[in-house]
Amino acid sequence: MRTRADLLGWVGLAGRLYLGFVFLAAGLAKLPEPAMTEQAVRGYQLLPWQLAPAYAIAMPIAEIVLGALLILGLFTRTAAVATALGLCSFIVGITSAWARGLNIDCGCFGGGGASADPTYFADTLRDLGWLAIAVYLILVRRTKLALDDLLFRRGAPAADDYSDSSKKTELGSST
């Protein structure tokens, strides 16, 4: 590892791949069973009853798209923001069900509905960990092996890629 930026980029790659595969797996698990996903959505008792079928179809598709974008490193920050917002909504849903004494399975990877032994605390901690990864991806400047770098490459290297101040001055005067 040459620099701090390299290290951050490799950590970002690991986070991107991990979170991307989690979201891809969650979406793929729910996609073939929209009725089960709808049952899980209704179990939270947060959305109007009529919205549950549409949400049960849209959510797995969104998870698959976001997972693929993260894995590919394409529109990484945008995908990370959308993933973070989704995770916030999942955390709110889980903690709301927990606070109201509902006994449901989260339905995060398919299934869902009534559960005699819900795992709210573990699910919330897991989602908070994934949210931390998404926030990292929002904040980190670049990740390694991302399509973003190939497709949206800047003409000149960034100022923080230079180590001495004379080169920074040259970069500043040429733009």
Which parts of 54-121 are beta strand (E)?
104-105, 113-114
Residue 171 has a pLDDT of 45
Residue 21 has a pLDDT of 98
- Residue 69's nearest CA partner among 60, 78, 58, 56 is 78
DSSP character for 109? T
Residue 127 has a pLDDT of 97
Which residues contact residue 119 at a Cβ distance below 8 angstroms, ignoring those fewer than 6 apart?
106
- Report d(CA 59, CA 108) in Å as an integer: 10
- Report d(CA 32, CA 60) in Å as an integer: 9
β-strand 104-105 against 113-114: which pairing, if any?
Answer: antiparallel
pLDDT per residue, tens digit, the chain (175 aa), is: 478 888 899 999 999 999 999 999 999 999 999 999 999 999 999 999 999 999 999 999 999 999 999 999 999 999 999 999 999 999 999 999 999 999 998 889 988 777 778 899 999 999 999 999 999 999 997 899 999 988 887 554 444 443 444 444 444 444 4
